[in-house]
Amino acid sequence: MTHRPADVALTALAPVTWGTTYLVTAELLPADRPLWSGAVRALPAGLLLLALTRRRPHGLWWGRAALLGALNIGAFFPLLFVAAYRLPGGTAAVLGAVQPLLVVALTVALLRDRPGR
């Protein structure tokens, strides 16, 4: 199977874009505004998804969507920007890289579930 250079470049675009978070935060965004920075990051994507799908949650999914949105976007993005404002880029990169190991450790500690091979 061969990969065209354009496909490889397009595939690399997501991690490259994600990797600029700390540089953009430190150099371009207003200092000490993590909630604003999180909203600026999440709102365009949310509005685009709403415009494309034109679907809203129904019934129980309103509460589920609110909880997931509050935890995954409402808490995560502002905390990401707090970290970007306060941590050096290298420290943030190391913490980001060990996240899968932290999830495994928390799964064992909190759920008493041992990972398989």
Please give the Cα distance from 49 to 65 (Å, whole number). 14
Residue 71 has pLDDT above 80, yes or no: yes
Does residue 99 register a pLDDT over 80? yes
Average pLDDT over residues 37-65: 87
Q: For a pLDDT cut of 90, what percent of the chain falls above it?
A: 18
Per-domain residue ranges for the chain? 5-86, 88-117
pLDDT tier for residue 22 given thresholds of 50, 70 and 90: confident
| 3-state SS, residue 98 | coil
pLDDT of residue 67: 93
Counting every residue, how long is the chain?
A: 117
pLDDT confidence of 36, banded at 50, 70, 90? confident
Instruction: Using CB atoms within 10 Å of the CB of residue 73, give its burial: 0 to 12 exposed, 13 to 18 middle, 19+ buried.
Output: middle
Distance CA 12, CA 2 (A): 16
Can you list the positions of beta strands (E) in the chain? none
pTM as predicted = 0.61
Closest to 86 measured CA to CA, from 19, 12, 16, 25:
25
